């Protein structure tokens, strides 16, 4: 590949103005059609002009270069900035096309370095290249080591594809609540821009007047049902937008995820960076027997959107995908080693002492500071809730070591099963709080360069935890072990 400096695709010159116009659509409607333009809206139009000009300027001032060792991007008119990413540091190359870009055949390329030790060094974005050019660049950057093929490796093995029935899990993810925020925000913005007065809402006013006469309980139920329906519908919409056409495939040395209805995304995970997988079940999703699955990879920290292996789907499906990706069905086996009676009672002690503390404080405030008595009476409910949570948390506690993979499971509000290959374990932390020492328990943490950077088995009986760490990485602890 030559070292010439290249520009982004010229079709972006058409994309920028349209994007800005769409974003400021409420203002335009207000000015052009309703004709209530004031001083502020004229300034909004000036802002629109400036935004379009800035977008065009960005195209003219951005160039990039791909050499044998580096990817470089130069941008800026007055203060020129050059971002340089060494090619052997490139961990991810993600492709995204927003609707307008898709129509024009354009794709945004995000080159990630995923450095764990430096914040802000997140790689470079090329917004946007022609789609064919983008996939060629990805193939070049990711497959250089495996023989520098000009084309992407064929994806032989489809591991999972979205089934339309999975959309039913949408409402259990609560993504609709975020969507409501966005919708309400833009509606408020629109109303504000077009400057509707209360007088314009005659129909709404009379409707509100009539409902005010209805009994309170009916209103409450009505609002609840309406909210529930709205959240569900929006959650489904959000699910479809994000995950339609979802497909997880395995090719030579890579996993590739393709998804999205309007905006399409393609993410690639190199198998040599894969260290494990995580199956997570937030409480609502768990109640619907659903789960999601993500990859634990070096270079992708925490819960990265690039590490999605399966959207909310039936739990068996999430387990199957985790097993398939790690090529080991044992990692999702139901039977795990339980943590025993002391871990069990510790869950109760913790939950109930929180409940007792809250109730006691509220009761004291009621007696000495004249707070209403119903507050501590309501707080009494935290005892049964705490007990239920404690029992569930204990039942979800478990660990295992199968075929060189460490498995931890815990959590109640979000239950997670984390599978980490032992060759990805960098070190161990044995944490013992005062009460854990008295109970003969410890929390075993495996530190790693992948995913969340640390994975913990909570409240394992001490001797068992030490034996587990020893079995996972034989020899490392040997000089310090005490044997019977």
Partner 1 sequence: MNPVVDLRPPANLVSRKAILFWTARAAIGWVVVLAAEGVWLGLTGWAPLVVVLIVTAVLTLAHLAVMPQWRFRVHRWETTAQVVYTQSGWINQERRIAPVSRIQTVDTERGPLERLFGLANLTVTTASARGPVQIHGLDHDVAQRLTQELATNTQGTPGDAT
Interacting residues toward partner 1 by CB under 8 A: 116-117, 298, 301, 424, 426-434, 437, 445, 447-450, 452-454, 462-463, 466-467, 470, 475-477, 479-484
Q: Are 305 and 289 spatial neighbours (Cβ–Cβ below 8 Å)? A: no
Q: How far apart are CA 151 and CA 166, in angstroms?
A: 33
User: What is the residue whose two structure tokens read 């129909």?
Assistant: 203
- Is the backbone peptide bond immediately before 322 cis, with ω within 30 degrees of 0? no
Closest CB to partner 1 among 244 and 430? 430
Token pair for 409: 């499971």
Closest CB to partner 1 among 252 and 473? 473
Closest CA to 108 of 272, 310, 260: 260
In the complex, minimum distance from the CB of residue 335 to partner 1, in angstroms, rounded to a whole number: 21
Closest CB to partner 1 among 168 and 301? 301
φ/ψ of residue 379, rounded to 5: -65, -20
In the complex, minimum distance from the CB of residue 62 to partner 1, in angstroms, rounded to a whole number: 31
Closest CB to partner 1 among 19 and 456? 456
In the complex, minimum distance from the CB of residue 82 to partner 1, in angstroms, rounded to a whole number: 25
CA distances from 428 to 243, 445, 472 (A): 37, 6, 11
Closest CB to partner 1 among 412 and 436? 436
The set of residues, in sequence order, having a beta carbon less than 8 Å from that of 370 and lying 6+ positions away, is: none
Produce one character per residue of 65-100: b if its CB has 16 or more CB atoms within 10 Å, e if not: bbeeebbbbeeeeeeeeebebebebbbbbbbbbbeb
Token pair for 380: 């009494």
Q: What is the DSSP letter of 214?
A: S
φ/ψ of residue 247, rounded to 5: -150, 130
In the complex, minimum distance from the CB of residue 392 to partner 1, in angstroms, rounded to a whole number: 26
CA distances from 11 to 97, 338, 352 (A): 13, 59, 62
Closest CB to partner 1 among 287 and 463? 463
In the complex, minimum distance from the CB of residue 299 to partner 1, in angstroms, rounded to a whole number: 8
Q: How far apart are CA 484 and CA 481, in angstroms?
A: 10
Closest CB to partner 1 among 10 and 482? 482
Closest CB to partner 1 among 292 and 346? 346
Closest CA to 170 of 75, 114, 241: 241
DSSP 176-208: HHHHHHHHHHHHHHHHHHHT--GGGGHHHHHHH
In the complex, minimum distance from the CB of residue 253 to partner 1, in angstroms, rounded to a whole number: 17
Class of residue 312 by CB neighbours under 10 A (exposed 0-12, middle 13-18, buried 19+): buried
In the complex, minimum distance from the CB of residue 418 to partner 1, in angstroms, rounded to a whole number: 14
In the complex, minimum distance from the CB of residue 450 to partner 1, in angstroms, rounded to a whole number: 8
In the complex, minimum distance from the CB of residue 475 to partner 1, in angstroms, rounded to a whole number: 8
Closest CB to partner 1 among 136 and 432? 432
Token pair for 102: 């898709």
Closest CB to partner 1 among 378 and 481? 481
In the complex, minimum distance from the CB of residue 180 to partner 1, in angstroms, rounded to a whole number: 35
């Amino acid at each position: 590949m030559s070292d010439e400096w290249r520009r982004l695709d010229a079709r972006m010159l058409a994309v920028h103005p349209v994007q800005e116009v769409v974003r400021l659509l409420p203002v335009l409607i207000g000015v052009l059609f309703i004709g209530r333009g004031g001083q502020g809206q004229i300034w909004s139009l000036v802002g629109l002009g400036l935004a379009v000009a800035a977008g065009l300027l960005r195209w003219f001032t951005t160039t990039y270069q791909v050499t044998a060792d580096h990817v470089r991007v130069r941008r800026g008119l007055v203060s020129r900035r050059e971002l340089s990413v060494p090619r052997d540091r490139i961990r991810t190359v993600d492709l995204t096309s927003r609707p307008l870009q898709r129509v024009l055949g354009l794709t945004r390329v995000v080159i990630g370095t995923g450095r764990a030790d430096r914040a802000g060094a997140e790689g470079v974005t090329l917004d946007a290249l022609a789609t064919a050019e983008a996939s060629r660049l990805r193939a070049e950057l990711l497959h250089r080591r495996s023989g520098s093929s000009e084309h992407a490796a064929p994806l032989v093995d489809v591991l999972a594809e979205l089934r339309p029935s999975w959309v039913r899990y949408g409402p259990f993810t609560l993504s609709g609540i975020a969507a409501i925020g966005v919708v309400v925000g833009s509606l408020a913005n629109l109303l504000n821009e077009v400057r509707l007065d209360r007088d314009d809402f005659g129909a709404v006013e009379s409707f509100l007047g009539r409902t005010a006469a209805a009994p309170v309980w009916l209103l409450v139920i009505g609002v609840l049902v309406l909210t529930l329906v709205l959240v569900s519908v929006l959650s489904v919409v959000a699910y479809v937008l994000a995950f339609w056409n979802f497909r997880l495939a395995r090719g030579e040395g890579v996993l590739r995820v393709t998804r999205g209805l309007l905006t399409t995304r393609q993410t690639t995970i190199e198998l040599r960076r894969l260290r494990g997988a995580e199956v997570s079940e937030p409480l609502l999703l768990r109640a619907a027997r659903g789960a999601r699955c993500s990859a634990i990879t070096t270079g992708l920290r925490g819960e990265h959107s690039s590490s999605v292996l399966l959207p909310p789907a039936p739990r068996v499906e999430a387990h199957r995908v985790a097993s398939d990706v790690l090529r080991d069905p044992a990692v999702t086996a139901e039977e795990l080693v339980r943590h025993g009676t002391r871990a069990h009672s510790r869950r109760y002690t913790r939950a109930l002492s929180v409940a007792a503390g809250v109730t006691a404080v509220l009761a004291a405030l009621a007696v000495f500071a004249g707070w209403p008595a119903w507050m501590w009476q309501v707080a009494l409910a935290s005892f049964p809730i705490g007990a239920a949570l404690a029992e569930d948390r204990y039942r979800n506690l478990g660990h295992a070591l199968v075929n060189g993979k460490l498995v931890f499971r815990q959590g109640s509000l979000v239950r997670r099963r984390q599978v980490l290959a032992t060759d990805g374990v960098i070190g161990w932390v044995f944490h013992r709080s005062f009460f854990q020492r008295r109970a003969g328990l410890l929390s075993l943490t495996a530190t790693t360069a992948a995913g969340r950077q640390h994975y913990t088995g909570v409240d394992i009986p001490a001797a068992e935890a030490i034996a587990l760490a020893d079995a996972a990485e034989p020899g490392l602890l040997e000089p310090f072990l005490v044997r019977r």
